[in-house]
Homo-oligomer: A and B are copies of this chain.
Amino acid sequence: MPIPPTLTWLPPPDGPAVRMIDQTRLPGELVLLNCRTIDQLCVAIVRLSVRGAPAIGCAAGLGLALAAYLSESKDVEHLLDELRQAQAALAATRPTAVNLFWALERVMGVAEAAAPAGIEALRDRVLAEAQAIVAEDLETCMAIGRHGAPLLPDEGNVLTHCNAGALACAGYGTAEGVMRAAVATGKKLHIWADETRPLLQGARLTAWELMQEGIPVTVICDNMAGALMAQGRVDCVLVGADRIAANGDVANKIGTYSVAVLARAHGIPFYVAAPLSTLDRATPTGAQIRIEERPGEEISLVAGRLREPITPAGAQIYNPAFDVTPAELVTAIITEVGVFRAPYGEW
Interface residues of A (CB under 8 A from B): 27-28, 161, 192, 194-198, 200, 203-204, 207-208, 211, 216-228, 230, 254-255, 257-258, 261-262, 264-265, 296, 299-300, 302-303, 305-306, 308, 310-320, 323-324
Contacts and interface: CB of A to CB of B under 8 A. Distances in A.
Given A204-B310, A207-B311, A302-B305, 9 more contacts: A27-B311, A197-B223, A219-B317, A219-B318, A222-B222, A224-B318, A228-B318, A230-B323, A302-B302
A257 B226 contact: yes
Contacts of A305: 302, 306, 308, 310
Contacts of A196: 223
Nearest to A329: B265
B310 A195 contact: yes
Nearest to A26: B312
Query: How many chain copies?
Result: 2
Contact of A224 (B203, B255, B261, B308): B255
Contacts of A254: 221, 223-224, 227
- Find the residue from A203, A221, A305, A315 having the highest chain B CB count within 10 A: A221
A219 B299 contact: yes
A252 to B, nearest CB: 11
A329 to B, nearest CB: 10
Contacts of A195: 197, 299, 310
